[in-house]
Structure 1
């Protein structure tokens, strides 16, 4: 045995509930089954998707029988830059460990999933807070001597198992450890249904990584390309394809299909008509097409999202679709002979009911609710528990979903259309005058997101930016470029701070008034402990 023989070191990263401890036990048992010394330690992580639990293994690459009674000395922690393998079930976790300096392009094989589970920090951002997958993959490519990237989430779902089995198959397929495939499979077992599912996941990952090893050119393709989208692609009607430039077709096809499904074909035509106005204005402001119809492309995205706003009709439709029922059965792994009960909880309030009523009736309902709140009561709401596995429950949801034909008569539908037209009018006027300013106002469509108070706040911010930063440029064309920068700064501020303090500061810096303060009711709560103390006094 060479005197400089070193253990093979692996760092395993798994999210909560993914079976990282099981994977560690499998690897240790595989080493013992194959006759090799091994040791494992773990470092607990945190919950709510703010980190991962890591497991550190060292495996001596010489069989115990050949050591002559000697025992190798293992380490308890990975050494920065000396790690032999980094295995992770989530792409951002891979990036975190690399930034900790554990991996190096001289020693480390990186096995990672290309799938993402968004962190709490990513979800809290008002705009699109997702980390760029391309940057993470570039980080993997730079700080590894070799790498295997595969969609472990898709393989796990395909096999009907847990991701730890897929990770084990990827490690086995990489050839890093001196074990035969049968050693791994023997540890997993072959008797129970869960063992069979684990073996399926193991085999899928083993074959995927083995194929990457034998095809070096395919490795670069995996790193460069995101997982293929197997969803059916929307197609744009031929008449609209001839009318709109090629640059717009992709997003417009998705947007047109979405609004048609949301309401009807006439609603899809209304969507197309709004885009026609934007396209005509952009051609006026940018006759040489120096920017590739970028404003129309952005509006194709954000108009569709706003026009398909969330309401109780859409929620009922989504929750009662056959595809949703199939997905739920798949997630809980229910068989054909299994009984599955699904209960959906709803709590619509006065605004949700008023949204479906004509304007006059809606105002009466909202006024009644405001009077309740003014007297110290909580806003009215109707808690509902609907069993969507039952005939009555499904009929209730499908009946509510069928009322989408009446949606245009509701007060919210009319209000939303008026606000959309107000925004589109501003983009059209500004694009014809100064194309970059129109584009910045189009990007402000990102402010409209979520539901309830978040949605209302986004619309208020958008209209305030239009009225006080963008449209004043119409009266003073010499400041259009400055207005363009001001709108961009205000939009970024609104997306970075949900409370709106950053937006108010950006508005004041560019000579616009801060948003008006909205009145909020003060509710006094009785402390029951004070009554107990008073009763206990002599």
Structure 2
């Protein structure tokens, strides 16, 4: 008889130590021998703290006074289960050889806490969750994956309680549910919330276990009908269901729903018409769908993100939603008797107000602000502090959020649509010339991100690439566009992009004129005998 072995992986502050103590206490409460050890990590993301538990599956009362001998460290490939609060940590432990395909049950959260390296990338630097899930699936006897962080938030507790419920629901240890709950109840303050998270995870893992057993039974007995498995999710209810190929469908439905929410049916239909242009061009360039409609899929994503650009109307809408208030309540753990006040700070400037003005009026307001800057003044802005917990504050935000009708008449809307159409034309024409060229231009949608100067710089970079790199010989143009895009995402300052442009025969981006600012030195910093106050100058000419 061998002990049951479990490795717990948790990030800093997630209660891995508490979970370990709970499990040891549950074992003692149920009358079993158990032992735990831990290996602390050095930081929240440079190394998780891992906890190792062994439980002897025979009650102490039946051992006749004998005591089992436990090991202190986990042995790679000899674990019965791994439970982890974060997907990358799970993949890391699998990569270390801890999980065995014929022995180990892996219970992991699908939630991610991004590493520093992932956050530093200007583009999407996240590790591919799909690849990590394939790794878990390939190196585990069975696996359960769900968002533990979301369950913890919904239950108002910490992720350690959710992990405890997952372990209990898996049936790994010979303990009864009442043993787990008794230990949690003894914890005092916060026990009620912990029990909610425990129960929810117990239910999720228990149902998953039953479904896995049923699937195994179906595969073993052909007489059973596979059609009795869990019902499929109902498809989106709109007239464009089935219009796009299966690889595009999921992203398209998300994009269509976002357009409906952002501006309404007419805007969503514009999204469909634009995407259909790309699909028709791709079908002509790749009639056998060798590439799986990858260009249309990328356009479905990046086109939706660009068309739903952030403006003051969108910000007001997001900040005044009931879901946002509920999220704040969960984050601060506000009780029914607590008084919660939320203040939002805004500082809209001339560009934000000009965005809602007609194209005939906006340039005048922008020109007025530019003159102020050239005179050495700061850009005009209106600092606001809005109490969104109050009726007046919420009414102000909802009034601003209701200006969607004004958005389509504003100058920024016109500019954004003009740029989108130019990019769309570049993708369609590039695809008609060669599939690879159209695909590379579609991927340039990654350049449009952020807000303010970051967003403007991304659009300018995209247009410069379209104007100077997309019209040469097909193969060379595709390579040049890809190189310029990667350079722009690798260097926020733009030096790598300019070098890539010059390397492929395109001019570097034009320099932008910046005002010279004269700064008077403080008197205490003047050199001896300097006379009157000297002046210093700074001049910026970054693109």
Per the normalisation by structure 2, the TM-score is: 0.80
Matched residue, 2:139: 143
- Picking from 474, 497, 500, the partner of 1:503 is 497
CA displacement, residues 200-246 of structure 1 (integer Å, 9 cap, x when unaligned):
3323333443444455456889xxxxxx9999864443xx6698777
Q: Judging changes above 3 Å, is the alpha-carbon distance between structure 1 residues 453 and 332 closer, same or farther for their aligned structure 2 residues?
A: same
Matched residue, 2:159: 163
Deviates more, 1:244-253 or 1:93-102: 244-253
Matched residue, 1:36: 33
Gaps of 5+ in 1: 222-227, 474-478
Structure 2: distance between partners of 1:157 and 1:168: 15
Contact 2:41 2:47 in 1 (8 A): no
Q: Judging changes above 3 Å, is the alpha-carbon distance between structure 1 residues 249 and 86 closer, same or farther for their aligned structure 2 residues?
A: closer
Deviation at 1:321, TM superposition (A): 2.2
Deviation at 1:249, TM superposition (A): 5.5
Matches within 5 A, 1:331-350: 331-332=331-332, 334=334, 338-350=338-350
Secondary structure of the 1:38 match is: strand
- Picking from 104, 107, 110, the partner of 1:111 is 107
Matches within 5 A, 1:154-193: 154-189=150-185
Contact 1:45 1:54 in 2 (8 A): no
Matched residue, 1:225: none
Structure 2: distance between partners of 1:505 and 1:229: 54
Q: Does 1:98 align with 2:94?
A: yes
Q: Does 1:494 align with 2:491?
A: no
Q: What is the count of residue pairs matched by the alignment?
A: 514
- Picking from 114, 117, 124, the partner of 1:121 is 117
Q: Does 1:317 align with 2:314?
A: no
Matched residue, 1:476: none
Contact 1:37 1:63 in 2 (8 A): no
Supply the RMSD in Å over aligned alpha carbons. Answer: 3.9
Contact 2:107 2:144 in 1 (8 A): yes
Deviation at 1:307, TM superposition (A): 1.7
Q: Judging changes above 3 Å, is the alpha-carbon distance between structure 1 residues 381 and 78 closer, same or farther for their aligned structure 2 residues?
A: farther
Contact 1:469 1:487 in 2 (8 A): yes
Matches within 5 A, 1:412-423: 412-423=412-423
Secondary structure of the 2:357 match is: coil
Matches within 5 A, 1:186-335: 186-189=182-185, 194-213=190-209, 216-217=212-213, 234-237=236-239, 250-279=250-279, 281-282=281-282, 285=285, 294-332=294-332, 334=334
Secondary structure of the 1:409 match is: coil
CA displacement, residues 343-395 of structure 1 (integer Å, 9 cap, x when unaligned):
22222233222322344653444444445555655544333221111111011
Matched residue, 2:535: none
Structure 1: distance between partners of 2:268 and 2:521: 54
CA displacement, residues 381-436 of structure 1 (integer Å, 9 cap, x when unaligned):
33322111111101111121122222233222221122112212222333333343
Q: Judging changes above 3 Å, is the alpha-carbon distance between structure 1 residues 197 and 241 closer, same or farther for their aligned structure 2 residues?
A: closer
Deviation at 1:167, TM superposition (A): 1.0
Gaps of 5+ in 2: 218-229, 529-543
Per the normalisation by structure 1, the TM-score is: 0.81
Contact 2:39 2:49 in 1 (8 A): yes
Deviation at 1:470, TM superposition (A): 0.4
